Amino acid sequence: MKVLVTGANGFIGRNLVAHLKENQEIEVLSFTRNETMTDLKALVNQADKIVHLAGVNRPVDEKEFTEGNQELTSRLVEYALHSEKKPSIVLSSSIQADLDNAYGRSKSAAEKEVIQYSQDAKVNSYIFRLPNVFGKWCRPNYNSAVATFCNNIANDLEINVHDPSIKVTLTYIDDVIEAIINVLFNDVEEKKPQAIFVDVPFTYTKTLQEIVDLLQSFKAMRDDLQLPDYSDFFIKKLYTTYLSYIKESKFSYPLTKHEDDRGWLSELIKSPYMGQMFVSTTKPGITRGNHYHHTKVEKFIVIQGRGMIRFRHIERHDVLEYEVLGENVTVVDIPPGYTHSIENIGSTEMITLFWVNEQFDTQKPDTYTNEVMK
């Protein structure tokens, strides 16, 4: 199937093309502002489906709204109507199409062109009235507050929020792409072909201040190691978006390294919802631990070297032993009420990954010294 994407090098277009190219059954035809109307006509004649994303939203002159939204769509449907294939059209419109402003009127007019085309060509077409879309590859300092905030906060640039209480309705780029691909591959059979208005599956309404606060917490994560609350889908999608604006030279960052005669230890991540993770090295012959917890639980994973994890119930004297090898990648659970230790019994440095179900609290550490081997 040949799918023509207009506006293929724009924000939504780039993401859609990337997804479509992952399907070997699809040949992507691209139309950008670098092509002519003659090019567009030739591309339409080849297309089985058209996703019309090209448009104008930040013109120098308001008449460009009409030219870039209504008139371009008019030419597109004219070419499609005279093509042999009569391709179905998926139109990217806007929630502003109901508003009485130059942009809204031009989007509403583009919708009417597609509606008329469906009637004349007797094919289904699909219209998405999109709210503000956020995600990777959106141009900052242009027409997206989220892209601007992400870019500027990630790269230590100033942000200006004139009214933090303003609410914006948002949808995530991958949800938009999934919805578009769904209608491309699942064209509904109607007794009377028509233009169908389609909603994106998820939208979020947030104030500008809420967005900024979250983004600043993401930036602080490199210092406080606090993971976002991924159970909130908006936070998960916003964090993913934020990371896409970090400069390539700043993808990595150092961790604090605590060293002593036993080796070193570094905390990796923390969260009030999942506890924390840290990694340590242990020199040959050295033992770590010899303590127990009442509520806190842990997982030990030796990823390099050879270790012996020992347990003893605090009310008993018998000792349990679990030998662990880096090449086997075995997880050992540390239940409450068992004093435990881990000893490097190999000849090389041992590296261990630890997970604990709560963050360390100096006021309530729930850690009690007790030798396993008495």
Question: Of 103, 117, 204, 242, which one is the catalytic site residue?
Answer: 103
List pLDDT tens digits, range 1-48.
999 999 999 999 999 999 999 999 999 999 999 999 999 999 999 999
Nearest to 118 by CA among 50, 181, 185, 34: 50
- Whether 186 shows a pLDDT value over 90: the answer reads no
On whether the CB atoms of residues 216 and 164 are closer than 8 A, the answer is no
Nearest to 180 by CA among 77, 51, 85, 86: 51
Claim to verify: residue 201 and residue 322 sit in the same structural domain: no
The residue segments making up the domain with residue 174 are 2-137+160-205
Is 103 catalytic? The answer is: yes
Counted domains in the chain? 2
Q: Is residue 239 part of a domain?
A: no
Task: Kindly report the pTM of this predicted structure.
Answer: 0.91
The CATH number linked to 352 is 2.60.120.10
List pLDDT tens digits, range 203-222.
999 999 999 999 999 999 99
Q: Is residue 342 part of a domain?
A: yes
Q: Which amino acid belongs to residue 292? A: Y
List pLDDT tens digits, range 114-150.
999 999 999 999 999 999 999 999 999 988 999 999 9
In 151-305, which ranges are E strands? 167-172, 195-198, 204-207, 258-260, 263-271, 275-282, 287-292, 298-304
Percent of the chain with pLDDT over 90: 90
Percent of the chain with pLDDT over 70: 98
Claim to verify: residue 289 and residue 185 sit in the same structural domain: no
List pLDDT tens digits, range 220-230.
999 999 999 99
Give residue 190's pLDDT: 62
Mean pLDDT of the residues in the chain = 95
Q: Is residue 153 part of a domain?
A: no
Claim to verify: residue 200 and residue 340 sit in the same structural domain: no
Claim to verify: residue 89 and residue 193 sit in the same structural domain: yes
What span, in angstroms and rounded, lies between the C-alpha atoms of 303 and 54?
A: 51
Claim to verify: residue 183 and residue 312 sit in the same structural domain: no
